[in-house]
Amino acid sequence: MTDDVRIIIAGGGTGGHLFPAIAIADELRARGALVKFVGSKFGIEAQVLPHRGESPLLLSIRGIRRDFSMSSILTNLVFPFRFLVAYIKSVRYLRRFQPHVVVGTGGYSSGVPLLAAIRSGFKTLIQEQNSYPGITSRRLSSKVDIICTAFEEATAYLSGDIRLYGNPVRKTVKVLEKSTARREMMISETLPTLFILGGSQGSLPLNIHFQKQHLIYLQKGYQIIWQCGEAHFPGLKSLNDQKNIHIFPFIQEMGIAYSAADLVVCRAGALTLAELCYCHKASVLIPFPFAAAGHQRVNAKSMADRGAAILTPQSELSTGKLEAQIFALFENPETLPTMEKNAGLLARPDATKQIATAIMGLA
C-alpha cells in the first residue's frame, strides 16, 4: 500500500475516544496509508495531537451540557451555530482531502465529520468503545458502512454491519518487567505499589478520597503512583514531597506505570479496561456513576464477573470499604496473580489490526 490511501479519523474529547484513534492511525500508517485527524478545540486532542507532531483540523464544537449552570446554558444556546460552522468546515475539508474512508472513534468531535462524510458519499466506519454506545454511534450505526464494537452488550443498541473486535491499545503501552518499570520511574523496586488512575483528565472524587487517605497507605508500607489530571495537579503536587508518593498530572508512558504497579485503582472506561487486560493487571474499578446509561458499571461488572477485577461503587468510598478491599488483596498472595491471569484472558491484542484491516478493506 502507499499513501494513495487517504483516511480521516475523527474523535476525541477525552482520552477514551482519542487514544483508540491514535492506535488505529499508527497501524494504518504502518500499512502505508495517509492519515489526518479531526477533533475539537475543546478536547484533549488539542494538546495531545500537536505534541505528536500532528496538524489536526480542530473544530469549535463541544457536546451538549446536561447541568443547569449559566455557562452550560450559554454553551447549549450557541450549539446550533457551532454545529453548522463545524459541518461546513468538515465538508470543505473532506472535499479537499478526498478520503477513501472517514473513521469515527466517538466523542462530540466525531459526529459532525461522520455526518458530513455520509451525506457527501464517502465510506465510513465507527469504532465504538463502550458497552452502551454513545449517541453518535446509536444515531449513525445504520448509516455507516461498518461499526466495530468492543462489548457484545453494545450490539443491542446498534444496527448494520457490526463487528466485535475489541478496543485498540496504543503501541506506546508496552509491557515491561516490573523491576525494570520501577527503575524507569525511579521508584522503589520492592514496595507494594498502587496505581491510582482517574482517566486522562483525572477524577475529582478519587483525588479527594486519596488525598484524605494516602497516609494510611504510606503507614502500611505501600508506594503510590497517581495520575491526577492536569486541572487537579496544582492542588495535589505538594504531596510529592512525601516519600513514596509519585503524583503526575498526566503520564505519557502508561505501559511503564501499569507495569510498575501491583494493583490499579481506576474508573471503568473502556480504554482503561482494554489496557488493563493487555497489561495483565489486577484492578479495583470505581465506575463513574453518571456515565451514559451506567455503561461504566456494566463495563466493570463484566470484568468483575470474570475474576479480573473488584467493583466498588463510588458511593461507598466514605465507608472504608475500598481500603479494606485493597489491603485484603495485598495480604492474600494468591489473589493478585489470579486476577492478573484472568485479566490477560480477556485481552484482545489483535483489535487494532482487525479494525485497520476493515478500514483498508473499505478503502
Quick: pLDDT tens for 20-78. 999 999 999 999 999 999 999 999 999 999 999 999 999 998 765 555 666 656 665 66
Render pLDDT for 229-241 as a digit per residue (tens, 0 to 9): 999 999 999 999 9
Instruction: Tell me the one-letter amino acid at 288.
Output: F
Residue-level pLDDT at 77: 67
Please report which confidence band the pLDDT of residue 345 belongs to, taking 50, 70 and 90 as the band edges.
very high
- 324 CB contacts (<8 Å, ≥6 apart)? none
- Do 6-167+349-362 and 178-345 come out as alike in CATH topology? yes
Question: Distance (Å, rounded) from C-alpha 43 to C-alpha 84?
Answer: 19
Render pLDDT for 316-342 as a digit per residue (tens, 0 to 9): 999 999 999 999 999 998 999 999 999
| Other Cβ atoms closer than 10 A to 44 | 22
CA distances from 228 to 30, 211, 216, 236, 276 (A): 33, 11, 19, 8, 18
Q: What percent of the chain has pLDDT over 70?
A: 94
- How is residue 324 written as a grid cell? 479494606
Spatial CA neighbour of 363 closest among 137, 102, 93, 26 = 102
Residue-level pLDDT at 170: 84
Residue-level pLDDT at 72: 59
**Region 6-167+349-362: CATH code:** 3.40.50.2000
pTM of the model: 0.84
**Dihedral, CA atoms, 249, 255, 256, 259, nearest 10 degrees?**
120
Residue 35 pairs in a beta bridge with 7
Superfamily of domain 178-345: Glycogen Phosphorylase B; (3.40.50.2000)
Query: What average pLDDT does the segment 3-29 reach?
Result: 92
Residue-level pLDDT at 71: 65
- 293 CB contacts (<8 Å, ≥6 apart)? 132
Please report which confidence band the pLDDT of residue 225 belongs to, taking 50, 70 and 90 as the band edges.
very high
pLDDT at 252 over 60: yes
Residue-level pLDDT at 1: 43
Render pLDDT for 134-187 as a digit per residue (tens, 0 to 9): 889 999 999 999 999 998 889 999 999 999 999 999 888 999 999 999 999 999
On average, the pLDDT of the chain sits at 92
Q: Where are the domains of the chain?
A: 6-167+349-362, 178-345
Render pLDDT for 180-209 as a digit per residue (tens, 0 to 9): 999 999 999 999 999 999 887 889 999 999
